[in-house]
Amino acid sequence: MVAPERKTDEPAPVRRPPRKLYKIGEVIRYSGISRQTLHNYTMLGLITEEERTPSGHRLYGESVFARLELIQRLKARMSLKEVREHLDAE
């Protein structure tokens, strides 16, 4: 089967790069938080993993870094329970 020819004045279709997913080790290295803190935040529902590997390892999307930064800022003046309530209200 031959693909139809594209007219030269048509823009090429935009192809998005594959999204980057980060392993737990990468998240803690880039964010500076501990493995236990990352686990606690996940268990409390403050952050969520994007996917899991076939062997069950958590993978986080790029948005986790902004979320962790926000949690750290809020935690400076709120309890984790209050942080969760604040994030749930967003």
Domains of the chain, residue spans: 21-89
Question: If DSSP codes are grouped into helix, strand and coil, which group holds residue 59?
Answer: strand
Tell me the pLDDT of the chain averaged across its residues: 88
Query: CATH number of 21-89: 1.10.30.50, 3.40.190.10, 1.10.1660.10, 3.40.50.300?
Result: 1.10.1660.10
pLDDT at 5 over 80: no
This prediction's pTM: 0.75
* The token pair that represents 86 in the structure block: 């604040």
Q: Which of 19, 75, 67, 78 is nearest to 42 (CA)?
A: 67
Give the span between the Cα atoms of 74 and 55, in whole angstroms: 34
Q: Quick: pLDDT tens for 48-79.
A: 999 999 999 999 999 999 999 999 999 999 99
